[in-house]
Amino acid sequence: MPQYRRANIKGSTFFFTVVLADRSSTLLVDEINRLRRIYRLVHERRPFETVAICILPDHIHAIWTLPEEDADFSTRWSLIKSGFSRGLEDERRSPSKIVKREKGIWQRRFWEHAIRNDVDLERHVDCIHFNPVKHGHVTRVADWPHSSFHRYVEGGLLTADWGGDLKEIQGSFGE
């Protein structure tokens, strides 16, 4: 089996997608307070800047900037995933999950992308904020409560009507 290698760029900015094993689950929004508490605890113990984030029912998109001498985002995500899972009811688990001390709530891996420049950052922030509309959870970005979009509006970086209204958009758009 090939070894998976993650980017090792200290102090860099990364886009992440972290996904539940059951893509039909709504666990992340059902347990939003648990997720927020664990996220805050990990942030306090291993600081990072959350540039943008959106929590959907079955996955999280986030952009983090790590401290200048730190490239260890994997441990942070591991702590968030395990902290969130701890205390939730055990599902039936396979022997490999038991050996690896996994509950099977999360997909084993996550996606990361090193942000290359300001344009790349802007595109990924837009992607994060528009994601609840893309997945059909709301028709307006402003209507999704679990997003840094609201912080961007409060800070004057985006307008409350950014992204328009899906009812007004015609066409079929892919991932």
pLDDT (tens digit per residue) in 56-92: 999 999 999 999 999 899 999 999 999 999 888 655 4
> Given pLDDT bands bounded at 50, 70 and 90, which one contains residue 1?
very low
What pLDDT is attached to residue 129?
Answer: 98
What is the full DSSP assignment across 43-55?
HHHS--EEEEEEE
User: Is residue 143 assigned to a domain?
Assistant: no
What pLDDT is attached to residue 75?
Answer: 96
User: How confident is the model over 136-171, as pLDDT tens digits?
Assistant: 999 999 999 999 999 999 999 999 999 887 665 555
Question: Which of 4-18, 22-36, 37-51 is the least confident region?
Answer: 4-18
User: Is residue 128 assigned to a domain?
Assistant: no
pTM of the model: 0.84
User: Is residue 90 assigned to a domain?
Assistant: yes
Give residue 108's domain range.
13-117
Within its chain, how far is the Cα of 109 from the centroid? 13
CATH number at residue 61: 3.30.70.1290
Non-local CB neighbours of 91 within 8 Å, separated by 6+ positions: 103, 104, 105
User: Is residue 156 assigned to a domain?
Assistant: no
First and final CA of the chain: distance in angstroms? Answer: 29
User: Is residue 67 assigned to a domain?
Assistant: yes
User: Is residue 151 assigned to a domain?
Assistant: no
> Given pLDDT bands bounded at 50, 70 and 90, which one contains residue 44?
very high
What pLDDT is attached to residue 165?
Answer: 76
User: Is residue 172 assigned to a domain?
Assistant: no
Based on the structure, what is the number of domains in the chain?
1
Pairing of strands 59-65, 13-19: antiparallel
> Given pLDDT bands bounded at 50, 70 and 90, which one contains residue 8?
confident
What pLDDT is attached to residue 62?
Answer: 98
What pLDDT is attached to residue 65?
Answer: 96
Does residue 9 sit in helix, strand or coil? Answer: coil
Does residue 34 sit in helix, strand or coil? Answer: helix
- Locus of tokens 């899906």: 166
User: Is residue 92 assigned to a domain?
Assistant: yes
| CA-based radius of gyration for the chain | 17
